[in-house]
Amino acid sequence: MFNFQLCGPIICIGLLGAASIASAAGETVQQDNTCFESRKGLSQVQQQEIKPGVMNVKCSPTTGGVLLWGDPFEGTIPMGDMSIEADYSHEEAVVKPREPQIDRNKLLTICSMACHNGEYVPYPENKLARPLKMHKDIVPDAMQLKHGKGAIWCLDCHHAATRTKLIDHYGNEISFNQPQKLCGKCHGQVYRSWRNGIHGKRIGMWQKGGKKRWWTCTECHNPHDVEQGNRNSGFAQLSPEPAPVLPKGMSNADHERGHGEQAH
């Protein structure tokens, strides 16, 4: 497990490097053609040609969401060690590393070195909630954190000293690339379903033993804003794709919107 955590970021950086070289070399590749996979802004993917005539992703022209994956395993790394046996133990399981997404504005790197280095911002004495001077953009409901209904606070998930890591129940480090290990601490039922492949998302080969890319928790869920106001939904709102074209001769869709007030 520790090995994996060491390697994770290196592989990611390697991949990022390769991607940027590829996009610089390809003349047809435009610069601003990023799409999002599940969470707008936090699961971005750069559209590029992976084989002649084959794009890595095909995106919706209206919402910028990915529609098709030319290669479902592009930019992925092995899922790494998991403590409990499941499908991922018997077949090739890959995930898209989260660290590059979180660190895309060098947030993770700078935070851990510039501020949370143990000196400038001292290590907190306890886990009790206190007014945050920063990070209100990331955690909009910081003082009444909805996540956990007041029972948890930053350092129940984040490592007190090493800000590039999450923690398990015993204070051991968890990589940002394996958030399931952290989330599973409380969300056991969902975690079980996820391991069984019936919660969350996988793409690739459906067959038993086939290679699959597993979506990890934070690719879809935002742990810092779990209720989105009062919607109480685990998934942030999105712009929908356009409605179907109305049948010929129909000028609007009022027929399906009225509650029959006129009829009665």
Partner 1 sequence: MSKQETKVKDANGATRRDFLRKAGTYTAASLSGAAMLLSDPKPAKATANVSWAEHFQKNYRLMTDEEKEEAIERLEKRYSEEFGKKVKVGSEPAIEGVLFGYALNIQKCIGCRRCVKACVAENNQSRGEKQQIEWIRVLRMEKGKFSAEDRDVHGYPEDYGIQVGGNAYKPAGVVLEGQHYYEPDQVPEKDAFYLPMQCMQCEKPPCVKVCPVRTTYRDPDGIVVIDYNWCIGCRMCIGACPYWARRFNWGEPDLPAEEMNPDTHYLGNRPRMKGVVEKCTFCVQRTRKGRWTGCVEVCPVGARKLGNLLDPESDVRKVLASKKVFRLRADLNTYPKFFYFMD
Encoded tokens for 64: 């910028």
Q: Which of 65, 75, 80, 100 binds partner 1 (CB under 8 A)?
A: 65
Backbone φ, ψ for residue 6 (5° rounding): -70, -40
Query: Please, which residue, 98 or 163, has the CB nearer to partner 1?
Result: 98
Backbone φ, ψ for residue 219 (5° rounding): -70, -25
To the nearest whole angstrom, how small is the minimum distance from the Cβ of residue 261 to partner 1?
9
Distance CA 218, CA 216 (A): 6
Encoded tokens for 216: 């990890």
User: Interacting stretch for partner 1, rule CB under 8 A, among 14-22, 74-82, 121-129, 238-246?
Assistant: 238-246
To the nearest whole angstrom, how small is the minimum distance from the Cβ of residue 70 to partner 1?
10
* Using rule CB under 8 A, residue 73 touches partner 1: no
User: Interacting stretch for partner 1, rule CB under 8 A, among 19-27, 66-74, 100-108, 166-174?
Assistant: 66-74
CA dihedral sign of residues 1, 16, 115, 126 = negative
* Using rule CB under 8 A, residue 218 touches partner 1: no
Residue 19's contacts (CB-CB under 8 Å, 6 or more residues apart) are: 46, 48, 75
Residue 181: which H helix or E strand, with range?
A: helix 179-183
Encoded tokens for 187: 């969300």
Query: Please, which residue, 122 or 244, has the CB nearer to partner 1?
Result: 244
Encoded tokens for 82: 């998991």
211 neighbors 92 (Cβ within 8 angstroms): yes
* Using rule CB under 8 A, residue 133 touches partner 1: no
* Using rule CB under 8 A, residue 220 touches partner 1: yes
Q: Which of 80, 215, 218, 224 binds partner 1 (CB under 8 A)?
A: 215
To the nearest whole angstrom, how small is the minimum distance from the Cβ of residue 63 to partner 1?
8
User: Interacting stretch for partner 1, rule CB under 8 A, among 73-81, 106-114, 127-135, 252-260?
Assistant: 252-260
Query: Please, which residue, 35 or 111, has the CB nearer to partner 1?
Result: 35
